[in-house]
Chains A and B, each alone.
Chain A
């Protein structure tokens, strides 16, 4: 059974930093891309970042480029999202989502429940 468990969500001040983690199990981790998708409560889905199965290709939405850094450790079956220079508009539930194949840009077949990141003073 595929499981994705996010952690690291918190309340942080504007300009602050936070690191999210997503521990995966139940599939051959390095074979699939992984993604972060966020959702403002009551609003729609917003793709944030994706990493290929090897981690050799990582891409970002324009809204977070230069502030967020995604990485993955295939030895630990874990992906990370380092979020710096956080803004109020980054407040959202952040979901980890597994890609359907190796490549970034493929759709997502399993999702974690998500963690809440609140950016507020």
Chain B
């Protein structure tokens, strides 16, 4: 049950687009379309932003999008806003009713 691999940090300026990667294996990300992304602001509970690779829950801005290629999933945020500054975590189903997370990525909006 090794964690998924995410960059420790990414940054961008308001209005720009950024992409956060999430790399797993063919036992998790590569084998299931059950990748999700959560946003966590400091001191708050996580919030679901993307599920099943590319689906947005109701109420989540369409500036957030997800995709997957092979063993790597990606979260793209377009039109960066200051309120997007947060930690982002990917997670994936691994089979056997187990779910794992990535180590998290700190997004800084400069």
Contact = CB atoms under 8 A, between A and B. Distances in A.
Interface string B83-110: 0000001010111111111111000000
A104 interface: yes
B97 A107 contact: no
Contact of B97 (A37, A105, A111): A105
A38 B67 CA distance: 26
Which one of A37, A57, A107, A108 has the highest number of Cβ atoms from chain B below 10 Å of its Cβ?
A107
Count chain A CB atoms within 10 A of each CB in B1, B89, B99, B100 and give the residue with the most: B99
A11 interface: no
Given A45-B46, A113-B45, A57 B104 contact: no
Contacts of A53: none
A107 B98 contact: no
Interface string A80-117: 00000000000000010100100111111111111000
A108 B57 CA distance: 11
| Interface size of A as a range | 20 to 34
A105 B1 contact: no
A55 interface: no
Between B38, B52, B89, B103, the greatest number of chain A beta carbons within 10 A of the residue's beta carbon is seen for B38
Contact of B1 (A62, A109, A112, A113): A62
A45 B104 contact: yes
Closest 3 pairs between A and B when the two form their complex, measured CB to CB: A107-B36, A104-B97, A111-B45
Interface of A: 35, 37, 43-47, 50, 57, 59, 61-62, 95, 97, 100, 103-114
30 contacts: A35-B99, A44-B101, A44-B102, A45-B38, A45-B46, A45-B91, A45-B104, A46-B101, A47-B99, A50-B97, A50-B99, A57-B97, A59-B96, A59-B98, A95-B46, A97-B46, A100-B48, A104-B97, A105-B34, A105-B93, A106-B34, A107-B34, A107-B36, A107-B51, A107-B99, A108-B38, A109-B51, A111-B45, A113-B44, A114-B45
